[in-house]
Amino acid sequence: MSTGLIVALAALVMLALARWALRRGLTPAAEVPQDDPAARGLLGVQTVWLDAPRGRRLFAWFAPAQSAARAPAVVLMHGWGGHAGHLLQAAVALQHAGFAVLLPEARSHGRSDRDDHSSLPRFAEDLHCALDWLAHRPEVDAARLAALGHSVGGAAVLLVASQGRAGLRAVVSVSSFAHPERVMRRWLAARHVPYWPLGWLVNRYVESVIGRRFAEIAPEVTLPRAQCPVLLVHGRSDRTVPLDDAQQLFARRGTAPARLLIVEGTHEQFDDEPALFDAVRAFLLEHLADAPCAAAHDARGTAPRPAAPAATNPAFDSPHSTLQ
């Protein structure tokens, strides 16, 4: 066998292994939570199953608002490799504030059905399914919906906000990255893989698998197109997604009605969660009380930035936070 043929075969084997490794990386191991939502304070919680694309089903916890009237509702979407239990405390705080809450698990996460891969677009598809389900609940006001997401879930709520969904009045994006390309660059650098040409090829292969270009779904691209108010939340000491991402994302918001709340904490842990929950509650109550956000758009489809909250508003006046 010639040396050239050996090299060619070796290259094919390495390519096959690389594709297998990348595919495996796009299907995270499903962690099944052991949380008891009722024991954590979620009232009237029900286990429900939602229809998802490709014949899959999503596991979710639903807890109605503790009121007789049709209530506003919030979908809470976990991050990559996460599950519904990761956002339970936020759900409890929102339910106590008068919201119905739905905590779905994305495909290939938690107890939801597995699929051939996970991705930001698929998180967004699953979020749409959750909003569809809520909109048909008799105890929910379908014209007053919101979404909160963490990490990839935070990027997904921005993608959905850019798609002009009816009834979606506000979104909260927690610990989101600014652009998938830079996430992959950091991931490759941590593994000492040079970006050119290997890293570039890896990114293009990932785009081919998920069926979307990074430049189309990047949060810094979707945020300026958001059709409802957005609250960005980011930990000052986040090492998974550096604070620079949040600042770049906010700087590129264009005319989107967005705010940036910087809090003391990391990617998943925040030093003063009660103050953060107060801020999120205040933001959602501000935008789910009156006319739909679509009414605020002018004839060109752009929306003005909302006025900053009053300095006396304790939800945005925590010494541990910075509102920009």
pLDDT (tens digit per residue) in 225-270: 999 999 999 999 999 999 999 999 999 999 999 999 999 999 999 9
Q: Are 78 and 211 in a shared domain?
A: no
Q: How high is the pLDDT of residue 302?
A: 35
Residue 107 confidence (pLDDT) above 90: yes
CATH number at residue 279: 3.40.50.1820
10 assigned to some structural domain = no
**Residue 5: per-residue pLDDT:** 43
Let me know whether 197 and 106 are in one domain: no
Residues 54 and 203 both lie in one domain: no
**174 in any annotated domain:** yes
pLDDT at 2 over 90: no
Residues 184 and 247 in one domain: no
User: For position 290, what pLDDT does the model report?
Assistant: 53
Residue-number span of the structural domain to which 195 is assigned: 180-217
15 assigned to some structural domain:
no
Asked if residue 13 belongs to a domain, the reply is no
pLDDT digits (tens, 9 = 90+) for 113-133: 999 999 999 999 999 999 999
Q: Is residue 255 part of a domain?
A: yes
| Residues 72 and 141 occupy one common structural domain | yes
Per-residue pLDDT band at 277 (split at 50, 70, 90): very high
Q: Comparing 21 with 148, which gets the higher pLDDT? A: 148
Among 166, 190, 217, where does a domain finish? 217
Whether the pLDDT of residue 186 is over 60: the answer is yes
- Number of domains the chain contains: 2
Own/partner pairs for 129-133, CB < 8 Å, 24+ apart?
Answer: 129/50, 129/51, 129/52, 129/53, 129/58, 129/104, 130/50, 130/58, 130/60, 130/75, 130/77, 130/102, 130/104, 131/75, 131/160, 131/165, 131/167, 131/168, 133/48, 133/50, 133/51, 133/60, 133/102
Q: Does residue 88 sit in the same domain as residue 194? A: no
Residues 187 and 258 occupy one common structural domain: no
- Specify the pTM: 0.83
Q: How does the average pLDDT of the chain come out, rounded?
A: 84
Indicate whether 96 and 210 sit together in one domain: no
What does the pLDDT read at residue 175? 98
